[in-house]
Amino acid sequence: MALIQFPGQLGDVREKTALASVCPSHWAAVLTSLERLFPGASAVLERVGTGAADSGQLTAAGNSGLRRIIGARWDAQGLDFLSVGTIFRMRELPEAGLPSSRRREAESADDGAGGGAGIVLDRRDSRLWVLSVQVPLPLGERYDAAIATLLRRLAPDLRRSFLVSHRLGTTEQPDRATIESSWDELSVGVVLLSAGLRPLAVNMAAEEIVTTRRFFAPLGCRGSLRAAVNNDNERLRLAAGRIVYGESDVETVALKGVRCSAPLPVTLRAVGCGTGRRRFSALAGTAEGTLVAIIGACEANGDANAPRATAANR
């Protein structure tokens, strides 16, 4: 077993995991951070089902050194022992369900992943959502225990962020406390809004910004979010309308505010962007139209509209 010193390196993974709860496309950055901890590893987020149509790779990092046989590698019908939150070793998974052609491919592949560990992030009926860090079989003895330990430490963050990022706007949306606790890790303001701009969840940073009254007015008679300046408010509502009516997925509005020297960027995002996220929505059912407002500067790492998180905010 490799002696891996995690404490000084977990901050980066946790930061990107918090970002992924707001911007699902940022899961690729989470996987890249995990790969950096284990040279030669490949991290992947997958949906595993009982048939080929139910299985698929949702997100993968940039490591192409490992060949992945998605869905067919795992006999999903034999995975009943994997409940939500379970940490498992890759070598423990049954392979009896592999089609003979795929089994031969796996046996002949020199770079096939046979070691590593994973965590079950969610489950619906016969479908599992799994994040795994896989390594070639020769590296398994060195890394298996360390990877499992890492995933165990990150389990609360990973599960919570996945639920928030993939269930927002569905009939299985997490409760407000779960959403806000995930977003409180971020130094920028994040607000979940209804189609009418009524706040449904607000993180601590957003609450502080909204209550200063420099950029936002008190909530309207219907409890909707309103900009302090009429021109700002009109542009904000028009941008939200374009998202609600399907004309755009992302809109950015610079609020000038009241006697402010610098504008405040507000990025509005449609809830449910991303192929993997839409697949989950199709299974869970879609609730009322919602959008996410990111209040503050954004970074380009992983997603052009991803909010920035800082260690000081932890």
Beta strand 226-227 with 216-217: parallel, antiparallel or unpaired?
Answer: antiparallel
Residues near 210 by Cβ (< 8 Å), separated by ≥ 6? 189, 191, 202, 216, 225, 295
Yes or no: say if 291 and 3 are a contact pair by the CB < 8 Å rule.
Answer: no
Task: Decide if pLDDT at 26 tops 70.
Answer: yes
53 or 271, which is more confident? Answer: 271
Q: Is the pLDDT of residue 68 over 60?
A: no
52-67 burial, b at 16+ Cβ within 10 Å, e below that, comes to: eebbeebbbbebeebe
pLDDT-based confidence at 32, cuts 50/70/90?
Answer: very high
CA proximity to 21, closest of 215, 216, 173, 220: 173
Non-local (6+) Cβ contacts of 100 within 8 A are: none
By CB atoms closer than 10 A (0-12, 13-18, 19+), residue 241 is middle
Query: Which tens digits make up the pLDDT trace of 126-175?
Result: 778 899 998 887 777 788 999 999 999 999 999 999 999 988 888 888 99
Q: Distance of alpha carbon 107 from its chain centroid, rounded? A: 33
Give 91-96 contacts, CB < 8 A, sequence gap 24+. Answer: 91/115, 91/137, 91/140, 91/144
- Could you give the angle at which helices 10-22 and 27-37 cross, rounded to 10 degrees? 170
Helix axes 176-183, 10-22, angle to 10 degrees: 130
Mean pLDDT of 37-60: 70
What value does the mean pLDDT take over residues 276-302? 60
Look at residue 249 and give its three-state secondary structure.
coil
Residue given tokens 């030669």 in the structure block: 40
Distance CA 295, CA 267 (A): 7
Which domains are delineated in the chain? Answer: 10-166 (3.30.450.40), 176-313 (3.30.450.20)
The span from the CA of 7 to the CA of 13, in Å, is 11
d(CA 23, CA 221): 30
Q: Which pLDDT does position 180 carry in this prediction? A: 94
Instruction: Check pLDDT > 60 for residue 13.
Output: yes
pTM (two decimals): 0.75
